[in-house]
Structure 1
């Protein structure tokens, strides 16, 4: 029986060529990437990672090195769910959300990558895929863009046959409505438009905004209010003319269960890099199958396309260009608005060795 003998932690920082600002004012000029590489007694390697927008990568890397790596050494990769539970319980009193779950996610993805590589299978086949490809929608239409830049970005995604286009909106409701109108015009009457408020509004403001964009045929309104206000999502859902999407800021299956029990959303948006890795993502995918709720994961189209294809309610994955093409040695490709599931053993995603040297943050 092969066991894990080594777990390396790497903290990378990838500068953004076009820094942007979110709906609530925070800047993204650097994307943190925290990578875990596990090696077993037979020399096989599995790689997992998480991304941290802006700062915070150092905290995740520290938690991994000091708290989780000792739990990983000596683990049988076949018992990945047992490892997940041990990491979760070890972190329970100081990290059921946030930094600890980012760290658990990176380890879990690495071990699943190792498992699938050991089986000489792509991860989606190892898990039991049901779809050969997944559609992609374009994100990156930031609130910090001018109206002309916004239109150009939306037109570019439409020209590439993406499933749809998502834009961010801010506190100025008149400007927010105008931005939605611009993207709707850019993609045409048959194009899909999604709107992300990044938790910027309260309940009453969301109702006003939703009323103003109802006639623009919006596919979903994403996180209009604070993610923790699940009761408000329950009050909102079904009372406005726009479907509600949420979940990128839930950190385990328990948060998704609450969203479903409160009847709070129309679309779930889990993020394997935040909410516990492959193990927890598959549990949420099973919940979505049970409740017949569409799943549209948050970011990381490279990995999520290989996971969401294992569920019967997969809707679409989200495309960002935060990481340059040469950051990866291997990753899936987007063609005509779709990602085909990879036939490469493991996750189908691996970081180029040169990136570790190029983007490594000094300890």
Structure 2
């Protein structure tokens, strides 16, 4: 069987609530979901999810090839764009093709991808999330009560602008999840909003109030020295890596002992996750993949010896997609459908107007009257 072509489709995910973080909130709760379809001369198709605007550049590296040679084709795509670099949009395209190749490989074996990757158990432990920064207090509590009803005992909230608000929300979510355990695991994700000194100060204040399991992306993704300082200064683990594209970008963090929980973005593909996880495992570090529509990396997570928990952001699927997995008992139970277990109904795809993630700016965008602020809730805070 050979790869003959591809198609690019788009649908939307209606979250039913505002979603976002300190860098921006999609108030309408509708986001775009790009879909890549890899075609073969045998009639099978593979599905890859994620932005792939640069797919024209990388497709020649896989055209006419046997889709079962996934890891070799991954390296072929990297080599194909060697001179111009693989980061950013190009890596997203490589990842979407890679995900579709793994989908095809498992479909050719007529088995779910988690079995192809060597997992023993179809259940993947998770933690509750939900891009909850834009929710008011009542909606926030309702959201995490829903996770508690599905058996989740750990959660990650979005914060980074107001430490007092972050503490209140961490405590509120902890109390809700206490229905399932006496000691919920609580995480805070500030999406690179702080610098190292701010992070150390804020974490000291937070850790007076509760036992924080990890602080996620406290500073910019490339700040290995800052991340290492934060890790040494706090009890909480430092989690980062979801925005790093390629195993090479993790090397400075590993060398500086700057990361305690290694994260990978689901939109960077299956092979990327497997390689980063192996590198982390060699350093006795746990891995936690971040969430994405349809949880495609849950199949790989099921096969990782050092997987500490998969982020689960929603219980519904994008329009036109049916996914063979169940969310409950504090995690994801993968099904037996071949490949990723994602079925596509092209007639049901939607073109609803999606919101922009960065419409409201963020901590790195200079305001009209000031740049960084000494007092986050002062008279300029709303601008």
Q: TM-score range by the shorter chain?
A: 0.7 to 0.9
- Aligned partner of 2:286 among 272, 279, 294: 294
Deviation at 1:320, TM superposition (A): 1.4
The correspondence for 2:305, drawn from 312, 320, 330, is 312
TM-score, scaled to structure 2: 0.83
2:217 counterpart (220, 223, 228): 223
Aligned-pair distance for 1:103? 0.8
Give 3-state SS (helix, strand or coil) of 2:38's partner.
Answer: strand
In structure 2, what is the Cα distance between the partners aligned to 1:124 and 1:77? Answer: 17
The residue matched to 1:359 in structure 2 has which SS? coil
Out of 38-47 and 253-262, give the one that drifted further. 253-262
Identify the match of residue 151 of structure 2 among 156, 161, 170.
Answer: 161
Structure 1 position 244, deviation (Å)? 1.1
Spell out the pairing of 1:140-159 with structure 2 (5 A cutoff): 140=130, 142-159=132-149
Residue among 110, 114, 123 paired with 1:133: 123
* Counterpart position of 1:54: none
- Per the alignment, residue 271 of structure 1 pairs with 265
CA contact (8 A) 1:143 1:169 kept: yes
1:76 corresponds to 2:70 = no
Q: Report the equivalent of 1:350.
A: 343
Task: Tell me the C-alpha RMSD between the 2 structures.
Answer: 2.3
The residue that corresponds to 2:356 in the other structure is none
Distance 1:15 1:153 in 2: 15
SS in 1 for 2:126: strand
CA distance in 2, matches of 1:302, 1:143: 21
Greater relative contact order (CA < 8 Å, ≥ 6 in sequence): 2
- Kept in 1, the 8 Å contact 2:324–2:334? The answer is no
State whether residues 306 and 342 of structure 1, in contact with CA within 8 Å, keep that contact through their aligned partners in structure 2: no
Deviation at 1:141, TM superposition (A): 5.6
**Is the Cα–Cα contact under 8 Å of residues 198 and 222 in structure 1 kept in the other structure?**
yes
Q: Distance in 2 between matches of 1:115 and 1:284?
A: 21
Q: How many residues align?
A: 347
**Are 1:237 and 2:248 matched, yes or no?**
no
Q: Check conservation: 1:302, 1:349, Cα contact below 8 A.
A: no
Is contact 1:14–1:359 with CA below 8 Å preserved after alignment?
no
Which stretch shifts more, 4-13 or 88-97? 88-97
- Give the secondary-structure state (helix, strand or coil) at the position aligned to 1:291: coil
Per-residue CA deviation, residues 74-130 of structure 1 (Å, 9 max, x unaligned), is 111122223212221223344422111111111011111111111112212212114
Task: Give the aligned partner of residue 12 of structure 1.
Answer: 11
Distance in 2, Cα, partners of 1:322 & 1:93: 41
Q: Which of 197, 200, 209 is matched with 1:207 structurally?
A: 200
CA distance in 2: counterparts of 1:142 and 1:272, whole angstroms: 19
My pick for the range that moved more, 330-339 or 11-20, is 11-20
In 2: Cα distance, 1:197 partner to 1:147 partner? 18
Q: 1:128 to 1:122 in 2, by over 3 A?
A: same
Deviation at 1:221, TM superposition (A): 0.9
Distance 2:204 2:332 in 1: 34
Distance in 1 between residues matched to 2:298 and 2:109, nearest whole Å = 20
Identify if the C-alpha distance between structure 1 residues 244 and 261 changes in structure 2 by more than 3 Å, giving closer, same or farther.
same
The change in CA–CA distance for 1:334 and 1:26 in structure 2 (over 3 A counts) is closer
Range 129-138 or range 12-21, more displaced: 12-21
Q: Distance in 2 between matches of 1:326 and 1:25?
A: 23
2-structure distance, mates of 1:116, 1:352: 20
SS in 1 for 2:98: helix
**Greater helix proportion:** 1
> Once the 2 structures are TM-superposed, how far is the Cα of residue 212 of structure 1 from its aligned partner?
1.2
Cα contact 2:62–2:76 (8 A) shared by 1? no
1:114 maps to 104
Cα distance change, pair 258–322 in 1 and its aligned pair in 2 (3 A): farther
The equivalent of 2:39 in structure 1 is 39
Shift of 1:322: 8.0
Query: Residue 369 of structure 2 aligns with which residue?
Result: none
Alignment-derived partner of residue 53 in structure 1: none
SS of corresponding position for 2:297? helix
**Cα distance in 2, alignment partners of residues 211 and 94 from structure 1:** 43
User: For the structure 1 residues 326 and 31, does the alpha-carbon distance in structure 2 shift closer, same or farther, using more than 3 Å as the test?
Assistant: closer
